[in-house]
Amino acid sequence: MSGNNYFQRYFSLINNCLVAGTDSVLEEVADKIVRAASGGGKVILVGNGGSAAMASHVAVDLTKAAGIRAINFNEADLLTCLANDYGYEHWVAKALGFYSDPGDLVIVISSSGESKNILNGVSQAKAMKLDTITLSGFASDNALRKCGDVNLWVDSKSYNIVEMTHHIWLVAIVDFIIERRSASENLSHG
């Protein structure tokens, strides 16, 4: 197998996942993020493993580049304390209980859509009446895909394809928010 053929197929697969009917949904997510920020809320991003790293990246980009307060729960002491005291499957719910405020927006990321800690976190967010965005992949009927106010799903069973699609969607949303704000400011000054 030639490397070129492999990579062409691989990048084509990612491209197909990226553009599969997402334009209006991605804009809806951007609107929810801006609406939460405009109302004084913050964005809370949560994931496991690679999705946790993605949550950190996007939280920083939202805060620094887009001017939208955003946090994630990747501190080792927080995660291990809550997991130890309440069980790993409940640490996200407990963190949301401690750190979220009315008007916040919760974005949860799980490639499989079956991570118990993420599902319990969404239940907690719903009990607190917080809007929730979910990102998942794998099975089209995964549990997480049914839970959010907006549910983004990647039609793939490959972790890397799912995670890279989620990551590109999220940073594209950040860039869309920045671009839209810039265009709006240019119109008001022009």
* Residue 73, φ and ψ in degrees, nearest 5: -115, 55
Q: List all residues 6 or more positions away from 141 whose beta carbon is below 8 Å from its beta carbon.
A: none
Within the chain, what is the greatest distance between any pair of CA atoms?
A: 56
Provide the b/e sequence for 140-174 (b: ≥16 CB within 10 Å): eebbbbebbbbbbbbebebeebbbbbbbebbbebb
Give the pLDDT confidence score for residue 3 in this predicted structure.
65
The structure's pTM equals 0.95
Question: Residue 178: its pLDDT value, please?
Answer: 97
Distance CA 153, CA 99 (A): 27
HSE-CB at 84 with a 13 A cutoff on CA atoms is 6
Choose among 101, 94, 97, 107: nearest CA to 47: 107
Question: What is the C-alpha separation between 105 and 34, in angstroms, rounded?
Answer: 10
Token pair of 80 as six digits: 């291990």
Give residue 163's Cα distance to chain centre: 11
Domain coordinates in residue numbering, the chain = 3-189
Per-residue pLDDT of the chain (190 residues), as tens digits, is: 566 799 999 999 999 999 986 779 999 999 999 999 999 999 999 999 999 999 999 999 999 999 999 999 999 999 999 999 999 999 999 999 999 999 999 999 999 999 999 999 999 999 999 999 999 999 999 999 999 999 999 999 999 999 999 999 999 999 999 999 998 888 776 6
Pick the CATH number of 3-189 from 3.40.50.410, 3.30.420.40, 1.20.1070.10, 3.40.50.10490: 3.40.50.10490
